[in-house]
Structure 1
Amino acid sequence: MFFEIHKDIPREGPGNNESTRRAFHMLTDLTVHPHVLDVGCGPGMQTKELANLTDGTITALDRHAPFLQKLDAWIAENGLTKKIKTVQGDMFDLPFEEQSMDLIWSEGAIYIIGFERGLRGWRKLLKPRGYLVLVVSELTWLKEERPSEIEAFWMENYPGIKSAVANEGIAEHAGYQLINHFTLPEAGWWEYYRPLEQRVEMLREQFPGQVNMLDALDETQREIELYKKYSAYYGYTFYILQRQDRE
């Protein structure tokens, strides 16, 4: 049901090209021709933007073949087969050699493996002084005190949500230095939610008697409505992190 609900929308999570560019331009000493790994690329909106930003090569990984097929079609249409390749794989067991990546990028996907586990597990793939750039998908609390309704919702649906300070501490203990961070603007959420809301309405008409699907659609719509009410209290955060090695 998740993939049916999220089918044919441009993004699989909140984000926008402006924020992708902003994060990339914070990488002040990235090599000229980096090897970039985009983990959980989905249909590849940020992958396409990264192709505009770097002279390096990009490996885009996702477990869902239909996402990769759409991205492959776009790559072929734009003559980028030498610059971008797709790999169907699992972020829990990335099929790449240690210290083979200059940059790991993950927008809206690390929640699948968990922030701390992702940082620790992916670190070995980075070359020394390589970058790991990601959007924290366990979300980030933006205020210390929150209304009980939104706190209860995220404690039920993603209890790993933490503050920026807590996430920065996790990153440091996992072997990274924080270079910078910023909160995704609300416009980035609506680039995701508006097409999703339209799809929810379409699927209600398509599956009028399927209780499980209707329940999933109700939950999706509830998430959107809660963001309308409580966007000041939580958001996605870009954390720009650099691998640190003790001497």
Structure 2
Amino acid sequence: MEEIKIHEFEFALINEFFTELERQGPGSPEETIRALNFIGNLSNKSKIADLGCGTGSQTMALAQNTEATITALDLYAGSIDKLNVTAKKLGLQNRVKGIVGSMDNLPFQNEEFDLIWSEGAIANIGFEKGLNHWKGFLKKDGYVAVTYESWFTDERPAEIEKWWMNAVPEISTIGHNISLMQKTGYIPVAAFTLPESCWIDNYFIPQKTRQEEFLKKYVGNKTVENMISFMRREADLYSRYKQYYGYVFYIGKKI
């Protein structure tokens, strides 16, 4: 039986599930700030775009650790609504604005931004394609910072290779991705792996209660059952094969 891709599940159901969670992918405020420390020359005049922002956990970390103006973009209106409510609660609404839009059809001006940020989302359009497309919206010497699923080793067991090749067909090694960053017109500044806690404590464990709630709400719904089965398999595979892959923060400076 062929592996089901998460993208094949209904878009609205996936977003309903994840909008109630603090994070829509592996990560942490600490790792967001760690990556931010590699970015130079940000001021109260700087502009940041956070692409594929979800409900904005990392957006708020960026806003609380810079003086920049941030435009956060996501396809799902429910996530953007929640992000804008959070920004207002934190008193950040004058500097943080969430908008609905697509990462591969950005509604921005050429060379508008000092920094383009994207955690756990660039795989939706492809690492190389994303870096190429987004570069036009960065000022000269502007930065890009993304997290992207990557192999830690040159070889890995067939089971996990098949899973990730199905989910992210372009998945590759850290070295290959750094070379792609150079090829697309950036100077690589840093690359570091996210710790296991970003996956287990911040992504998989919070899903468990939500999964039970969802199965009760949509009892007998095969799409939901398949979606939850997919998520549980993802967590199981990570526990068994985490030494072979993970998210890597890639930071580059536009030439």
Q: Same fold per TM (> 0.5)? A: yes
**Matched residue SS, 1:6:** helix
Aligned match of 2:243: 232
Counterpart Cα distance in 1 of 2:76 and 2:196: 27
Q: Which of the numbers 163, 166, 170 marks the counterpart of 1:156?
A: 166
Which residue is 2:146 aligned to?
Answer: 134
Pairing 1:1-247 to 2, within 5 Å after superposition: 1-27=13-39, 29-33=40-44, 34-136=46-148, 139-190=149-200, 191-244=202-255
Q: C-alpha distance in 2, partners of 1:157/1:94?
A: 24
Q: Deviations over 1:132-163 (max 9, x none)?
A: 11111xx1001112111111111222221100
- Count of residues in correspondence between the two structures: 241
* Cα offset, 1:4, TM superposition: 3.0
- Please give the alpha-carbon distance, in whole angstroms, between the structure 2 residues aligned to 1:98 and 1:231: 39
For residues 213 and 182 of structure 1, the distance between their equivalents in structure 2, rounded to whole angstroms, comes to: 34
- Separation in structure 1 between the aligned mates of residue 247 and residue 145 of structure 2, nearest angstrom: 13
CA distance in 2, matches of 1:93, 1:121: 9
Q: Distance in 2 between matches of 1:240 and 1:93?
A: 22
Q: Once superposed, what is the RMSD of the aligned Cα atoms?
A: 1.1
1:207 deviates by: 2.2
Unaligned runs of 5+ residues in structure 1 are none
How far does residue 192 in structure 1 lie from its aligned partner after superposition? 1.3
Contact kept, 8 Å, 1:56 with 1:83, in 2: the verdict is yes
AA aligned to 2:242 is S
* TM-score, normalised with respect to structure 2: 0.91
- Scaled by the length of structure 1, what TM-score is found? 0.94
> Deviations for 1:28-60, whole angstroms, at most 9, x for unmatched residues?
x32323211111110000001001110111111
SS of the residue corresponding to residue 19 of structure 2 reads coil
